[in-house]
Amino acid sequence: MATFTRSDLRGAEFAGADLRGARFVGADLSDVVMRGVEIQRAEIDSPWLFEGDGFLRVNGVDVLPLVDAELNRRFPGRADRHAADPDGLRAAWAAVEGTWAATLDRVAAMPAGTVDVSVAGEWSFAQTLRHLVLATDMWLGRAILEREQPFHPLALVDSGTREGFDMSVLATETPSYAEVLEARADRVAMVRDFLAGVSPQELAAPRRNPHEPERQETVLSCLHVILEEEWEHNRYAARDLDAIDATA
């Protein structure tokens, strides 16, 4: 099978090409136009689907509002991720905690070793929790609280975050699942405790983007990133747990 890694195919035209079974990972497909294509059983998974003012048209219909509404139905509480006041944010976080508690219960009832299973090369459940530890440390610890070294040793850094990141602060050995759960519970409580006392004035306070320090955020926008991370990764986890169940 041909593999195109970091290839620049902008403006390319695929006419009569057979792309059945092709897999696009980390690819930029913005502004792609498909005409007269067969897309039965095609699957799109994009955490940035609803960002900006773009659209995704299928046969002339912008399906983004339909997808967003369906995800809100499947994940009660997700619709509150854009809350803009302290009470709304506290309710939004309570919904996140409740959803993840149910997911953790589901995993606990599955066969031993499930937490370390990778589906189609994606992060395992344990790795997903470790990445959420990183997301909390990045957007609450570093951005909002402005701590110089906010990172838990068990945090999992993805390839896109690694550049410019001091990897020496992280553990070099794979932690046990019990250790992962402890780290995750600590970071969940950290967000809850911060929201318990946050004021409207604090939400408007300026902060630096932890990835691009020259770019300004607000405390509120940083919290919105945390909420997006929580819901997107819960969706990934549910998707992969469904796949594991299907093959059991």
Q: Are 108 and 102 in contact (CB under 8 A)?
A: no
Statement to judge: residues 141 and 101 lie in one domain? yes
Domain total in the chain? 2
**DSSP line for 54-118:** ---EETTEE-HHHHHHHHHHHSTTGGGGG--SHHHHHHHHHHHHHHHHHHHHHHHTSPTTGGGPP
Q: What is the pTM of this model?
A: 0.87
The type of residue at 35 is R
3-class SS of residue 204 = coil
Statement to judge: residues 112 and 199 lie in one domain? yes
Statement to judge: residues 58 and 1 lie in one domain? yes
| 240: nearest Cα among 74, 44, 133, 103 | 103
Domain boundary among 54, 74, 94: 74
Statement to judge: residues 123 and 237 lie in one domain? yes
Q: For residues 99 and 207, give the distance between their C-alpha atoms in angstroms, rounded to a whole number.
A: 29
Q: Which domain holds residue 29?
A: 1-74
Q: Are 67 and 58 in contact (CB under 8 A)?
A: no
Q: What per-residue confidence (pLDDT) applies to 115? A: 98
Q: What per-residue confidence (pLDDT) applies to 1? A: 65
Q: For residues 26 and 24, give the distance between their C-alpha atoms in angstroms, rounded to a whole number.
A: 7
Statement to judge: residues 64 and 88 lie in one domain? no
Q: What's the average pLDDT block by block, 10 residues per block, for the chain (248 residues)?
A: 76 83 82 85 82 87 93 95 98 98 98 96 96 97 96 86 72 92 98 98 97 95 98 97 93
Strands (E), the chain: 57-58, 61-62, 206-208, 216-218
